[in-house]
Protein backbone atom coordinates (compact mmCIF):
# COMPACT_ATOMS: atom_id res chain seq x y z
CA UNK A 1 0.00 0.00 0.00
CA UNK A 2 1.12 3.54 -0.62
CA UNK A 3 2.42 5.10 2.51
CA UNK A 4 3.71 8.35 1.12
CA UNK A 5 1.30 11.21 1.10
CA UNK A 6 2.33 14.42 -0.52
CA UNK A 7 0.96 17.88 -0.44
CA UNK A 8 0.10 19.90 -2.19
CA UNK A 9 -1.14 17.74 -5.05
CA UNK A 10 -0.53 20.62 -7.42
CA UNK A 11 1.51 23.79 -7.09
CA UNK A 12 1.61 26.68 -9.52
CA UNK A 13 4.18 29.43 -9.08
CA UNK A 14 6.02 32.12 -11.00
CA UNK A 15 9.60 31.77 -12.11
CA UNK A 16 11.98 32.92 -9.40
CA UNK A 17 9.72 31.92 -6.55
CA UNK A 18 10.45 29.07 -4.17
CA UNK A 19 8.48 25.84 -4.27
CA UNK A 20 7.93 23.69 -1.18
CA UNK A 21 6.51 20.19 -1.31
CA UNK A 22 5.79 18.01 1.69
CA UNK A 23 5.73 14.27 2.16
CA UNK A 24 4.47 12.17 5.04
CA UNK A 25 4.98 8.46 5.60
CA UNK A 26 3.90 5.84 8.07
CA UNK A 27 6.59 3.25 8.72
CA UNK A 28 10.17 3.28 9.90
CA UNK A 29 12.57 4.06 7.07
CA UNK A 30 16.19 3.63 6.07
CA UNK A 31 16.09 6.59 3.78
CA UNK A 32 13.76 8.86 1.88
CA UNK A 33 14.35 9.84 -1.70
CA UNK A 34 12.94 12.53 -3.95
CA UNK A 35 12.44 12.00 -7.66
CA UNK A 36 11.33 14.14 -10.54
CA UNK A 37 9.27 12.95 -13.49
CA UNK A 38 8.58 14.91 -16.62
CA UNK A 39 5.30 14.09 -18.29
CA UNK A 40 5.31 10.56 -19.69
CA UNK A 41 8.96 10.01 -18.92
CA UNK A 42 11.06 8.04 -16.48
CA UNK A 43 12.15 9.19 -13.06
CA UNK A 44 15.22 11.23 -12.26
CA UNK A 45 16.77 10.80 -8.84
CA UNK A 46 17.16 14.15 -7.11
CA UNK A 47 18.34 13.55 -3.59
CA UNK A 48 18.49 10.89 -0.89
CA UNK A 49 18.37 11.61 2.81
CA UNK A 50 19.09 8.93 5.35
CA UNK A 51 17.09 8.40 8.51
CA UNK A 52 19.88 9.80 10.68
CA UNK A 53 20.13 13.00 8.65
CA UNK A 54 17.97 16.06 9.17
CA UNK A 55 18.80 18.25 6.19
CA UNK A 56 20.52 17.94 2.87
CA UNK A 57 21.33 20.33 0.07
CA UNK A 58 22.02 19.82 -3.59
CA UNK A 59 22.24 22.91 -5.76
CA UNK A 60 18.86 24.66 -5.57
CA UNK A 61 17.34 21.75 -3.69
CA UNK A 62 16.98 21.51 0.05
CA UNK A 63 15.47 18.48 1.72
CA UNK A 64 14.55 18.13 5.36
CA UNK A 65 13.58 15.02 7.25
CA UNK A 66 11.76 14.81 10.58
CA UNK A 67 11.58 11.19 11.61
CA UNK A 68 9.62 12.02 14.76
CA UNK A 69 6.85 13.43 12.60
CA UNK A 70 7.51 11.01 9.76
CA UNK A 71 7.66 13.83 7.28
CA UNK A 72 9.98 15.38 4.74
CA UNK A 73 9.99 18.50 2.65
CA UNK A 74 11.59 19.42 -0.65
CA UNK A 75 12.36 23.06 -1.29
CA UNK A 76 13.30 24.26 -4.75
CA UNK A 77 14.70 27.77 -4.62
CA UNK A 78 14.63 30.31 -7.44
CA UNK A 79 12.44 28.09 -9.56
CA UNK A 80 12.70 27.98 -13.34
CA UNK A 81 10.20 27.04 -16.01
CA UNK A 82 12.31 23.95 -16.64
CA UNK A 83 11.50 22.77 -13.10
CA UNK A 84 7.94 22.08 -14.25
CA UNK A 85 7.38 18.38 -13.54
CA UNK A 86 5.89 15.93 -11.07
CA UNK A 87 7.85 15.38 -7.90
CA UNK A 88 7.62 12.20 -5.86
CA UNK A 89 8.96 11.20 -2.52
CA UNK A 90 9.78 7.54 -1.99
CA UNK A 91 10.61 5.74 1.19
CA UNK A 92 12.96 2.81 1.57
CA UNK A 93 11.53 0.95 4.53
CA UNK A 94 13.66 -0.22 7.41
CA UNK A 95 13.58 -3.99 7.74
CA UNK A 96 15.77 -4.75 10.71
CA UNK A 97 18.30 -2.19 9.54
CA UNK A 98 18.53 -3.62 6.04
CA UNK A 99 17.54 -1.76 2.92
CA UNK A 100 16.07 -4.02 0.28
CA UNK A 101 15.54 -1.14 -2.08
CA UNK A 102 11.80 -1.55 -2.28
CA UNK A 103 10.53 1.97 -2.66
CA UNK A 104 7.07 3.14 -1.70
CA UNK A 105 6.12 6.25 -3.60
CA UNK A 106 3.98 9.15 -2.55
CA UNK A 107 1.17 10.42 -4.73
CA UNK A 108 3.30 13.20 -6.09
CA UNK A 109 3.09 16.94 -6.48
CA UNK A 110 2.59 18.46 -9.91
CA UNK A 111 4.68 21.62 -10.06
CA UNK A 112 4.07 24.22 -12.73
CA UNK A 113 6.47 27.12 -12.97
CA UNK A 114 5.23 29.95 -15.16
CA UNK A 115 7.82 32.00 -17.06
Stretch that binds another protein, among 13-21, 64-72, 76-84, 105-113 (CB under 8 A): 105-113
Contact 70, 85 (CB under 8 A): no
Rounded CA separation 26/87 (Å) = 19
**Beta carbon of residue 16, minimum distance to another protein (angstroms, whole number):** 28
Contact 52, 64 (CB under 8 A): no
Stretch that binds another protein, among 13-21, 64-72, 73-81, 96-104 (CB under 8 A): 96-104
Rounded CA separation 82/101 (Å) = 29
**Beta carbon of residue 21, minimum distance to another protein (angstroms, whole number):** 14
Q: Does residue 109 touch another protein according to CB under 8 A?
A: no
Amino acid sequence: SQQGEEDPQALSIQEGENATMNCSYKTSINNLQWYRQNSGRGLVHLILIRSNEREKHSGRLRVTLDTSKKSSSLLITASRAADTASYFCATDANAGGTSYGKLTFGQGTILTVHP
